[in-house]
Every structure is written in structure tokens, then in C-alpha cells.
Homo-oligomer: A and B are copies of this chain.
Amino acid sequence: MSNARYTPLTQSLPATVPFVGPETQERARGSAFEARLGANENIFGPSPKAISAMQEAVGGCWMYGDPENYDLRQALATHHGVSAQNIVVGEGIDGLLGYLVRLLISPGDSVVTSLGAYPTFNYHVSGFGGVIHTVPYVDDHEDPASLFAKAAEVGAKIVYLANPDNPMGSYHRGEDIVAAMDHLPEGCLLLLDEAYVECAPEGTAAPVSCDDPRLIRMRTFSKAYGMAGARIGYAMAAPDLISAFNKVRNHFGVNRIAQAGALAALKDDAWLDHVLKQISIARDRIGDIARDNGLTALPSATNFVAIDCGADAGFAKRVLDGLISQGIFARMPFAAPQNRCIRISCGPQVDLDAFAAALPAALQSAQSAK
């Protein structure tokens, strides 16, 4: 055994992984997936201008990235009509979630989220000793009213709300979230995860100032901008909260190539529009594939679609396994009742063709095992 004397908290933690990567599954099955549709990645990829910018930046990667992420923060400030002091850039939303939890949560502190919502947030909360309280989804939507009521009940320091939601793809109108915030308890910070908001209908982004002391919102270049592997996202909040990140963040943690790519991606509205149209087409196609197989695709405001397999979690898991065994990487929600579904990323026709070809056999084997 190592000389390492772990903290009591460390000793209490499992060696857990929020998600198993598709590469791990590929190694286990001994072959590559034909279609990679499980991680809410954006298969349409980054802007060609972002690709060029990143390729040009590669030669300069002997230099550390700017620890202030100055250029990108300025561009984001202009993009959102806020101050650069409202913005912190980090190693994806995952990294920023970790920093935020670390800033606020001591062992025993309460946090509220929805049962079955983003597991990586829970991973960070548990990792800092926080106590997670959950409320159920309501009609496959996260429910601001019950989240905020639970937050008041348990004296939560953070309440997590993803809008649009992962894994169900549902959303609330931004103005409805703002209205619900009247019931956000004093001293509870709303963590509004807007990772998928660019994919959602106009009006989904909460119409609330970044200076509003009640919330922090998180955005990413991993989804609509198609740069998940670049690991770059940002949070927007009041300057005092943003500056607190400087107490704990890995100042030189953002990849320099990612900085260049994000800056170029942000400026390419035409590509974003193109991708959003492709996502819309793909959502419709996934809906058609589901219907053709007697299943129901849930309405999606994201770049993935949850398909209700019409039975219980065991059945959905068998469908999922059937897809994976045919080379289709997909995932499913973790908690009931959402785990009656499987979740399929939007992608080009060839990927969805592969999914369409595999689904009938997956369903058949799932049904025959009933």
C-alpha cells in the first residue's frame, strides 16, 4: 500500500466514472463502432473556420495558453452583451462544475438536482462531500418549482437545473424559469446548465442578467459548436462569483488550440446555423425511425433524442445492448422513469441509416427476451 494518507473524504469515495467512454466499449468488443451516437456529441463537427484556426494553432502549442482566456472572454462578452468580468472560461462545463462545487460545498452541505439529471454534477458534489437531494422529473421535464421548493426545504447551497435537459431533451421557456426563480430561496445559487441552449427554440435561454446574484449559467463549445474533445466551456455570473473561480481554478488549464478554435467557432454564425438545421433534420429523422419501429421519440430541444421504448428499464437496456452489439454506440438515462428510453445523438444520414438498420433487430431480441 502507498504511503499516501488519504483524507477521510477521499476514503469514503468510490473510484467511480460518471460515464464509460465508447473507446472502452470498443476495446471490449474488439471493433470500432459503426455509428457513435451515444455521448451527445455533435457529429456535424466544428466550423471549418474553427478547424483551420486549430490546425494553425497546433504549431504554437509549445506556448501555454493565455491563463486569462482574454481574447475569448472579450469575444464572448460582445457576443452576449455582457462584461468580460461576467465570464470565466474553463476546461469544459465538467471542469467548471468541479470548481463551482469546490467553492461552495463543504462536507454535509446540501445540493438539489433532479433524479436522473447530469451525473457528472453529482460526481463533483459527492467528491466534495456534498449531500444530494433529488426531486423527480415531471412529464419528462425537470421541474423548477419542485427543485426550488426542495432547495428551500433542505437549505441547499446549489440547485442544478439543465435547460434544455439532458438526458430527456426537454426544455422550459426561459421566462418560465425566471418566473420560478421568485421561489428560489435566499442563499441558494441556481446553477443553470445551458449546454444545449443553442439547439433549443428561441426564448429558451433564461432572460436574466448575468449580474443577477441568484444564478450562474454554464455554456459550452462541446455541443452546438461541435468541439467536445477540445474541452472548453464557460460560465456567466456576477463578477464576485466569477472572480472566486480564480481562487481555485487551474489557471493554465485550458488548451491553447481549444482557445483558438473556440474564438473562431464563435464568430462563424453561418456554420452554427447550418449545424442547427442539420440537427433539426436529424431530430425529425430519429423521430421517423422511432415511429417506423412502433416507438415514440420525445420532442427534443437538444442535439439528441430520447426514444421511449414503451416498457421498463430492463427492456430499454436490452434494446440498447442490441444496438451496441450491432456497432451502434448509444446510451440510456440512469433513473426511472426516464430509463424506459434510449438516447440517440443527432448525426448525418449515414449514421442514422446505420441506427435505422440496427434498431429492428435490437427490438426483436429485446422483445424475445421478455
> A interface, by DSSP: helix, strand, loop or mixed?
loop
Assess the A68–B21 pair: CB atoms within 8 A.
Answer: yes
- Which of B24, B54, B65, B188 interacts with A58 by CB under 8 Å? B54
Known contacts A106-B7, A247-B16; decide if A41 and B67 are in contact (CB<8 Å). Answer: no
Assess the A58–B61 pair: CB atoms within 8 A.
Answer: no
Interface residue? A3 (CB, 8 A): yes
Residues of B within 8 A of A98 (CB): 250
Which of A5, A17, A157 has most B Cβ within 10 Å? A5
Residues of B within 8 A of A61 (CB): 45-46, 54, 226-230, 261
Interface residue? A251 (CB, 8 A): yes
Q: Nearest CB to that of A221 among chain B residues? A: B61
Assess the A7–B103 pair: CB atoms within 8 A.
Answer: yes
In Å, the complex CA distance between A2 and B9 comes to: 28
In Å, the complex CA distance between A42 and B63 comes to: 8
As for how many copies of this chain the complex holds, the number is 2
Q: Nearest CB to that of A123 among chain B residues? A: B251
Question: Interface-forming stretch among A87-95, A199-207, A292-300?
Answer: A87-95
Assess the B240–A17 pair: CB atoms within 8 A.
Answer: no
Interface residue? A8 (CB, 8 A): yes
Assess the A58–B51 pair: CB atoms within 8 A.
Answer: yes
Q: Nearest CB to that of A103 among chain B residues? A: B10
Q: Which of A57-95 contact B (CB under 8 A)?
A: 57-68, 70, 91-92, 94-95
Q: Nearest CB to that of A186 among chain B residues? A: B3
In Å, the complex CA distance between A243 and B235 comes to: 30
Assess the A248–B127 pair: CB atoms within 8 A.
Answer: yes
Assess the B36–A63 pair: CB atoms within 8 A.
Answer: yes
Interface residue? A18 (CB, 8 A): yes
In Å, the complex CA distance between A248 and B6 comes to: 12
Interface residue? A161 (CB, 8 A): no
- Which of B7, B229, B240 interacts with A60 by CB under 8 Å? B229
- Which of B231, B237, B248 interacts with A255 by CB under 8 Å? B231
Q: Nearest CB to that of A231 among chain B residues? A: B255
Contact with B along A207-232 (1 / 0, CB 8 A): 00000011110000010001111110
Interface residue? A117 (CB, 8 A): no
Interface residue? A361 (CB, 8 A): no
Contact with B along A235-273 (1 / 0, CB 8 A): 001101101101110111111111001000000000000
Known contacts A70-B23, A257-B255; decide if A227 and B188 are in contact (CB<8 Å). Answer: no
Assess the B91–A62 pair: CB atoms within 8 A.
Answer: no
In Å, the complex CA distance between A187 and B4 comes to: 6
List 5 A–B pairs whose Cβ atoms lie within 8 Å, in order of A's numbering. A42-B62, A51-B58, A51-B59, A231-B253, A255-B257
